[in-house]
Amino acid sequence: MKIQINSTLLRDGLNKILSVVDKKNSRPILTNCLVRAFDGYIELISTDLEVSAKVLIKAEVDNVGEFCINTKNIFDIVRELPDEIILLDIDNEQNLLKLSCGNIKFSLLITNTEDYPKLNFNAPTKNQFSISSENISKIISKTIHSISTDETRINLNGIYVQKIGEKLRSVAIDGHRLALLDIENFNFENDLLTDGLIIPKKGILELKRIAETYPEIELNFSVDESFMYISANEQYFLNIRLIAREYPKYQTVIPSKTSFSITMEKNILVDAIKRVKLLANEKTNGIKINFISNQLVVSASHNALGHGEEKIPVEYTGKEMEIGFNAKYILDTMSVIDANDITFDFNNELSPVIVRSDEDNAFLGIVMPLKI
């Protein structure tokens, strides 16, 4: 079997599937990708059994066939090749892939495909819907920072997606903060989406990659009880195992009403927190924000370094109080709000603080106070 393929196309295809490859080496075969050759194109496939990816690439093929090869190794080689035509000659008797590009030649070991997992990229014909790449990118960029990294709380290790009325709601929560985004005019009827699905973080990162690769198209989705299937232009396919857990009742974290509210210029507060947090405790990133009459005071103290504070004039006439925050959490939340002004809604020093903006009303963030 011989294959002629453009090195740039092969490099891009391998780059798309490389991040899916099993990094823990739990099964040696999963460090390989499956290469299938057909008339006019090849398929590159990789999986870690939780997320699978398939890419179709144009190529000249003289005979159909398939083989497995170490994904990182062939990617590292192809990445260094000039932008020319590559010839791949498969010698099944010696289990070798002979790769040549001009005067450059490699002989690479290949393995049999029998041990490679049998993967299904055929999306169910029911439960199909589409979402624009732009909206997928927006969902991920505004919520991914709140995904929990605590592996003992598996149900929090992803983004929860749920259809509510004609909105597609995406939520991430880690116990310290919450990020919620509503996409309007989502009219697809589906019981699975109404009940809600949890997409794991690795799957989210691959979704981000596919949306960035095709930034101006509608991505096709399909779901069943265990998997989400995504395709783009019939060239790039994902298969993501969903987290089979119940998501917490995130609505209980969001205050139904608040007693105090303050609106200020976002960049002024962001800059003040960045400066003051230089004297925050390294473990907690703890800062204090004092809400006093027409003034907001951001401060931090470090036992070994000293104390810093910055005063910001604001319009505030509510109760004077001091609330502690993890500076990283509050900065992360504000950074995803596309607005000039930011609003904090709160009740007291211990209650959740709503971070929002009237200019970006599809997003809502919650940050829990920090005891300092």
pLDDT given for residue 225 in this prediction: 87
pLDDT given for residue 24 in this prediction: 73
Strand ranges, E, within 254-340:
260-265, 286-292, 295-302, 306-313, 321-326
> The domain at 128-250 falls in which architecture?
Roll (3.10)
CB environment 165-182: b (16+ within 10 A), e (fewer) = eeebbbbbbbeebbbbbb
| Sign of the dihedral defined by the CA atoms of residues 188, 192, 193, 195, in that order | positive
pLDDT given for residue 280 in this prediction: 94
Overall fold of domain 2-109: DNA Polymerase III; Chain A, domain 2 (3.10.150)
d(CA 86, CA 67): 17
pLDDT given for residue 27 in this prediction: 85
3-state secondary structure of 1: coil
283's CB contacts (< 8 A; 6+ apart) are: none
d(CA 255, CA 259): 10
Domain boundaries, the chain: 2-109, 128-250, 255-367
d(CA 32, CA 110): 9
pTM: 0.93
Strand ranges, E, within 59-166:
60-61, 65-70, 85-91, 96-101, 104-109, 128-132, 158-164
> Phi and psi (nearest 5°) for 321?
-160, 165
Overall fold of domain 255-367: DNA Polymerase III; Chain A, domain 2 (3.10.150)
Instruction: State which amino acid sits at residue 86.
Output: I
pLDDT given for residue 185 in this prediction: 87
pLDDT given for residue 126 in this prediction: 80
pLDDT given for residue 265 in this prediction: 96
Cβ–Cβ under 8 Å, residues 108 and 96? yes
Q: Tens place of pLDDT for every residue, the chain, 372 residues?
A: 899 999 999 999 999 999 999 777 678 899 999 999 999 999 999 999 999 999 999 999 998 999 999 999 999 999 999 999 999 999 988 999 999 999 999 999 999 899 999 999 988 888 889 999 999 999 999 999 999 999 899 999 999 999 998 899 999 999 999 999 999 988 777 777 888 999 999 999 999 999 999 999 999 999 988 999 999 999 999 999 999 999 999 999 999 999 999 999 999 999 999 999 999 999 999 999 999 999 999 999 999 999 999 999 999 989 999 999 999 999 999 999 999 999 999 999 999 999 999 999 999 999 999 998
